[in-house]
Amino acid sequence: MNDSPGAPQHWARIQESGSLAGMRIMVWIRRHLGRLPFRIVLGPVIVYYYLGQALPRRASRRYLERIWPLHAGHAPRQPWWLGLKHFMAFGQSLMDKVDAWSGMSMGVKLTPEHRACLDQAIRSGRGGLMLVSHIGNLEICSAISDSRDDFHVTQLMHTRNSRKFNQLLDRSTLRRGPEIIEVTEITPATALALAERINAGGFVVIAADRVPINESGRVRHIDFLGASAPFPEGPFWLAALLRCPIYTLSCLREGTSHRVEFQPFDDTSHLRRTDREAWREDAMHRYVAWLKDQCRRYPLQWFNFFPFWQTDDRYDG
């Protein structure tokens, strides 16, 4: 990916908006004054952000144009209003993050099927890799891992983004959340660290919907919601090499509670070396199909506010 004019801007180059001070004030309001004052302040903040930030606004619109027909059966009728709702959902997710990390009890629902799957995964003692995405709110899952002694979660994160927000949470809240391994690229050292966690029965979380800035060479363009979008091969190579059970995990807001979905995806324990390339290809397509289904069901909880598709242009709209 390059910086030439017209090329979609890489998410990691986009500054996460909002100054740290502003966010800290929001966290303070949420924690000391409560939910209602927070919501009252959040509204204007999100509107201000929505009006002022053209890039994420356009990215949101491009996305909503693609997903809304699948979700609602028709194109967005009031695109401007829908976009604002999308941003509001993001604001809500920030509040939920703060709540989760502050140790407030979150209404978390697992269907019996997903709960059985999670219990079995933990009981097996084999650990695993959990593929996630930037849809919904994974911090809620961290809260689950905090509440269970036998559920050890390590999150692999790319260093560039989200750092601000996490710094903020570290300072403003008491909990530390899951163990986070920050990387700029996946090296043998990273693979070793992850293998160690999994061999000890732990679970590793890795997002597979954003292309890391240094790994532009290992990118696969896959059709997603009607146009080609870049997806990283890295998580799938890791999945193949780590030889362990693979799951998908998401946490989606449903009314006032959260729905956690934990499903088996695959098991690479006996994957043959010669079959690896074919497996990676197939697994990436299955992941994208999973992502599409998540988006279709919870369209406003997609929090990739950057030009996601190859055809997206930062000057368009």
Partner 1 sequence: MANALELELKHLIIDTLELEDVTPDDIDRDEPLFVEGLGLDSIDALELGLALQKTYGIKLEADSEESRRHFNNLKSLAALVEARRVT
CB of 201 to partner 1, least distance (A): 17
Please identify, among the stretches 60-68, 122-130, 150-158, 235-243, the one whose residues bind partner 1 according to the rule CB under 8 A.
235-243
Helices (H), 181-268: 188-199, 234-242
Residue ranges in 161-190 that form contacts with partner 1 under rule CB under 8 A: 181, 183-190
Q: Considering Cα of 238, then 242, then 245, then 249, what sign does the dihedral take?
A: negative
Query: Rounded to an integer, what distance in angstroms lies between the CA atom of residue 68 and that of residue 84?
Result: 14
Closer CB to partner 1, 113 or 275, in the complex = 275
* 279 near partner 1, rule: CB under 8 A: no
* 270 near partner 1, rule: CB under 8 A: no
* 112 near partner 1, rule: CB under 8 A: no
Closer CB to partner 1, 213 or 241, in the complex = 241
Using the rule CB under 8 A, which residue among 193, 219, 222, 227 binds partner 1? 193
* 195 near partner 1, rule: CB under 8 A: yes
Assess contact for 21 and 28: CB atoms under 8 A. Answer: no
Assess contact for 9 and 306: CB atoms under 8 A. Answer: yes
* 273 near partner 1, rule: CB under 8 A: yes
Closer CB to partner 1, 49 or 237, in the complex = 237
| Helix, strand and coil in the chain, % to nearest 5 | 50, 20, 30
CB of 253 to partner 1, least distance (A): 34
Query: Rounded to an integer, what distance in angstroms lies between the CA atom of residue 183 and that of residue 86?
Result: 29
Nearest residue to 132 (alpha-carbon basis) of 316, 265, 305, 307: 265
Query: Rounded to an integer, what distance in angstroms lies between the CA atom of residue 12 and that of residue 1?
Result: 11
CB of 227 to partner 1, least distance (A): 28
* 237 near partner 1, rule: CB under 8 A: yes
Q: Give how many residues touch partner 1 by CB under 8 A.
A: 21
* 108 near partner 1, rule: CB under 8 A: no
Give the position of tokens 């000890």. 200
Polymer length in residues for the chain = 317
Interior angle at CA 227, CA 289 and CA 301, nearest 5? 55
Closer CB to partner 1, 259 or 280, in the complex = 280
Closer CB to partner 1, 110 or 205, in the complex = 205
Residue 254 DSSP code = E
Site residues (CB under 8 A) for partner 1? 181, 183-193, 195-196, 218, 237-238, 241-242, 273-274
